[in-house]
Each structure stands twice: as structure tokens, then as C-alpha cells.
Chain A
Amino acid sequence: MVAEVVIKTVNLKCAFGEVTSLTNLNIEIYANEILGIIGPSNSGKTTFLRALNRLNYLNTSYRQIGEIIFEGRDIEELSDSVLRKKIGIIFALPQVLPISIFHNVAYGPKIHGVRDKAAVAEMVEKALKKAYLWDEVKDRLDMSAMRLSGGQQQRLCIARTLAVEPDVILYDEPCSGLDPISTAKVEDAMRELKKDYTQILVTNNTKQAARVSERCGFFLMGDLVEIEETETMFTNPKDKRTDDYITGRFG
């Protein structure tokens, strides 16, 4: 079976001011896979992720050359709004808005023009179910999202992203602030979402990448050192630097 390429970067170079984050990245991401991205801090993982939906440009010093092809089109042809609707992101720390659980999830559909209240409610329920949160919050949708636990908040963020019906979900170290049980729940949600979504998981936790991802990329100082089936990478990495990182000799 030849996997369908959803996202492809061609000679992607990214820099913030004088500081280069990605030197020359060529990577392909396949439909419905979970691609793990590992690597030490400042290796360009997050920059890569945020380049895909142009969030890097929120920083005015950001510069980028090269191409990012999404579903066969250069992303430059898409507006920010359309691109970010299709490529959603989950941030490192659970970032909920200080409004009710319901309105956190309803925010996306509303800004994308869903006016009908019943339709919004249905989308919210569907998204919360997909994020494995519905059973825990269905009786208190009007409660402030700030009062949920960290793990619940992070799944709420996933639900919020799902509610705008993206094709791709990016995770930027989604479990860095969570306890092991919450982490497991988030990972369960990710495995379940595989059916419908392409997912990219940036993580500092190599074990998490091993648990969840099917393919894995190793970034080091702005370079993609190696990209491999996860099993192969963790048992028999080609590059010595990958081996060193995975086995914990540095980073």
C-alpha cells in the first residue's frame, strides 16, 4: 500500500531574527499516521510544528523560505483562517479560555459561522466524545473550564480543536504538564483519533513517542537526523546520534 502524503516540506528553512531554527527540512507526513517528533530543546521541533499552520508568524521576527505542501497545494495559497481550520494545534500547557466548558468547544464552530444553536450543541457533544471527555463533563457543561483538572483541560483543548473539524492535528508536547494517568488518557484519545485524522506529536518524552507513534523523526539542532518506523528507530537506529539520544546519553 502506498501511503497518501498529506503534508510535505521542500527545503524548508526557518529563522527567528538571526537565529536559525530549521536549516533545510524535507519531510513527508502520511494520512492517518501518528508521526512522533523527538529531539532535545532548541532542535526545531516546535518551529516545524508551528510552521505548518503559520503560527510562527505571530512572532514578527520570523522568516521562512522553502515550501510547505498541504493536500497538494502550497499553504501560501490558503488564508490563515482556512489553513488553521484544517491544521489544528494542541499547545504544551492546557490553554483553556476562562469561559464555560461548552463555550470553549463552541468557540471554533461559532467563528466559522455555525449559527444554529442545536448544530453547535451537537458539534460540541461530538467533539467532547471524541476527546474522551464527554462522560466526565456532560452534567456540568456550564461550569468554568478553569475548574477542570490539567488532564481534563488538555482533553478539552483537543475537543476544541476537533470541533472545527480539522484534517491534521499537531501536538506540541501535549503532556508535559500532566501526570501519568492523565497522559495515558490523552494518548488513548490520540490512538482513537487515528481513524479520522493525521497527527503529529512533538514530545520531549521519547517513551511517549515510542508508545504512540508509528513513525518517528529525530531532530537535532535544526536538522532532521533520521525518520523511521518507530519500532525500527527504537530498536535499531541508523544514526549514532539518534542512538545516543534514545538511550539517554545526552539531551
Chain B
Amino acid sequence: MNAAKVREKIAFTILGLITLLIVLPIILTILYVVKNGAGSVTWEFISQEPRHGMREGGIFPAIIGTIVLIIGTMLFSLPLGILSAIYLVEYAKDNLFTRLIKLSVVNLSGIPSIVYGLFGFTLFVVFLNFGTSILAGSLTLAIMSLPVIITATKEALESVPFTYREISLSLGATKWQTIRYCVLPYSIPGILTGTVLSLSRAAGETAPILFTVAAFYLPRLPHSVFDQVMALPYHLYVISTQVPNMPARLSFATGLVLIGLVFLMNLVSIILRAHYRKKKQW
């Protein structure tokens, strides 16, 4: 082997090790959570309400709470995020106003989640008088997830070749028809990725729901959007820090369920993406 080959080999090895270093913490975290929690994730744990100061029973209301919040978040952030990205990419002229919006979107993604929590509390809970409720919590999470959805959608739309638009317009399609039939279908995989990424994050956030929706202990299901709910991340925080003599295995089990939920969302998006890729061949 000559010197160049050896150097290349060393470089590849180092790069490989660095990559491994990134994967390692993820794998270790998951393994650790699985090892400590898997034994406690029983059907009873998933399907029952907490009992005896949450030291026994299950986490059913928190699971339902988190699912409701994800759906609520999606309902607000998906249309808003995708439509504003379409506006920014396809309609907006490049002027000061547009640049200001784009800058705001980028900056929004850098705001700490607790600030979103405070903002949601003052705007939705207090000012709009929604109270501590699913509505207020979903809206807060939606605002938090908007920047990622907008950015991902923007990039997905921009990656569709200009010629597709030109073909469609040259055949007499209107601008909206062009977007609807010639741009959106090709950007759906990218939009899905961004959306799920952003919703997964929303599902795991504690700070934004802390003052806006999360209940400390509410062993029943919500009746309306103005109800409070328990949510997995907040429940995890509560049982890990606020309840004395809490068996640690329950915290790990709760964490595992949350990870499982997020994983499930990713799985759905992977299946949907594969479905769309099969339909449209680039």
C-alpha cells in the first residue's frame, strides 16, 4: 500500500469513528431506558389511570393527553406552516417585507421553548381567556413548531425543478393549478420529514405546556378543548422530581412510552414517504 492509500484509510477510519460517536449516545440512551423501563411497560401501565399518588397504576391519561396535543398542534401548525411556505416560495416578491418574514422564521426557531411557554400563557391562557387548556397548549406548541415546518416546506418546494412549473404554465395551467399538481406532489416527502421532526419535538417538550395545558394529576380523560390534560413529558418531570419515594422504573417506563410514541410517528412518516416515492419517480 502506498502512502496516499494509507492516509486515506486513516482519514476514513477517523470519520467513521466520529460518526459512531454521534450514534453512540443515542443508542446508549435508548438501551438504558429500555433496560430500566421495559419491564414495567405492561398493558396495565399503558391502559390504566395512575393510583396512590401516581406510584402505582398506569399513565393512560398522559398518553391520551400527549396524543391529543400532537393532533391539536398538527391541526394548527400544518396548514399555517405549509400555506405560509407556499406563499413565501411561490407568490411573495423579493422585497423588504418578504425578507423580514424569512428572517423572523429563522429567528423563531432559535427561541428557547420556555419563552414560547410564557408567550402562550400570556396570550392564550390569560389574554384570550382560553384558560389552562388543550386549546392554549396546542396553539403554543403549534407556534413553536411553525419555524421548522415552514423551513422544511420551503426547502422542499424550492427543490422542485423550475422546469416543472414552466411545463405546467406553458400548458395553460393557472399558478395555483401548477402548485397543486406540479409542485406540491413532488415536495410531499420533504414536507413530511420536516413536519414529523417538528411534531416529534413538540410531543416531547415540557416547557411550552407547563403553564398552558399540563395537569399535575388528573386521572380522567378530557371532555372538551378547554380541559386540562396530563402529558407524558410533564408527567415524567413530575414523577421524577416532585413525588417522593417514586420507583425509578416508572420514570423509565414513562420515558420509554414517550420514545415509542415518537418512534411510531416517524415510522408512519417513513411509510408515507416510501408510498409517495413509489408513485412519483424522479
User: Which residues of A come within 8 Å of B, CB atoms?
Assistant: 53, 55, 58, 60, 80-85, 88-89, 91, 95, 97-99, 107-108, 110-112, 144, 146, 160-161, 164
Contacts and interface: CB of A to CB of B under 8 A. Distances in A.
A91 B172 contact: no
A164 B166 contact: no
B42 interface: no
A144 B282 CA distance: 9
Interface residues of B, number: 20
A16 to B, nearest CB: 16
Nearest to A55: B170
Interface of B: 93, 163-174, 177, 181-182, 186, 280-282
Given A98-B281, A146-B281, A161 B182 contact: no
B172 A107 contact: no
B171 A107 contact: yes
Main secondary structure of the interface of A (DSSP, over half): helix
Main secondary structure of the interface of B (DSSP, over half): helix
A186 B205 CA distance: 60
Given A95-B163, A99-B280, A108 B171 contact: yes
Given A98-B282, A111-B177, A146-B282, A55 B171 contact: no
A80 B173 CA distance: 8
Contacts of A80: 169, 172, 174
Contacts of B280: 98-99
Contacts of B186: 98
Contacts of B177: 111
A111 B170 contact: no
Nearest to B170: A89
Contacts of A160: 167, 171
Contacts of A161: 170-171
